[in-house]
Amino acid sequence: MVCLGNICRSPLADGLLRDKIQLNNLQIEVDSCGTSGHHAGQQPNERMMETALSHGYDLSALRARQFETADFKKFDLIYVMDSSNYNNVIRLATSEADKQKVKLFLNELYPEKNRAVPDPYYGGSQGFEDVYDLVDKATDLIIEKLK
Ligand code: 4NP
């Protein structure tokens, strides 16, 4: 799960998937990171953690890190939150197989629409709820697909 800062959108997707993977007894490793290293080492954004916790998901153990080329080897699927993240990740790919792993996260919910998960960082609390709703729905669909 990849976004820009790895403090809002991708840690939410990461946290929800971790819980849903466990609930479904699946053996899948999930992680998240940002294309920027600006927030590396930080906990998820306070408002994102509060929103997640109000829905029963604890993101407090997660720490931000930057996407690295080794992630192409380590993971089979790389979900990005918007087209800017997509371009930044694709730029680091070294093969066609690497590129094929990179998918726009919201295409799971809205196939082929190439929609972005809006960045809630600079907005109000409704933005965080809206992101939660999108990420909850898309992660449900990802789980169904991987079952
Ligand atoms: P995220 O949100 O990409 O969903 O983690 C952002 C967090 C921080 C910044 C940008 C986006 N920032 O510019 O600091």
pTM, two decimals, is 0.98
Q: Which of 146, 139, 147 is nearest to 32 (CA)?
A: 139
Instruction: List pLDDT tens digits, range 50-87.
Output: 999 999 999 999 999 999 999 999 999 999 999 999 99
Residue 147 domain-assigned?
no
40 alpha carbon – ligand 1 mean position (Å): 11
DSSP state of 105: G
Residue 9 domain-assigned?
yes
| Cβ(51) – ligand 1 distance below 6 Å | no
Residue 35 domain-assigned?
yes
3-state secondary structure of 64: coil
Expressed as residue numbers, the domain containing 63 is 2-142
Question: Structural domain tally of the chain?
Answer: 1
Instruction: List pLDDT tens digits, range 6-42.
Output: 999 999 999 999 999 999 999 999 999 999 999 999 9
Instruction: List pLDDT tens digits, range 88-120.
Output: 999 999 999 999 999 999 999 999 999 999 999
* Vertex 58 angle, CA 85 and 60, to 5°: 70
* Gap between the terminal Cα atoms of the chain: 18
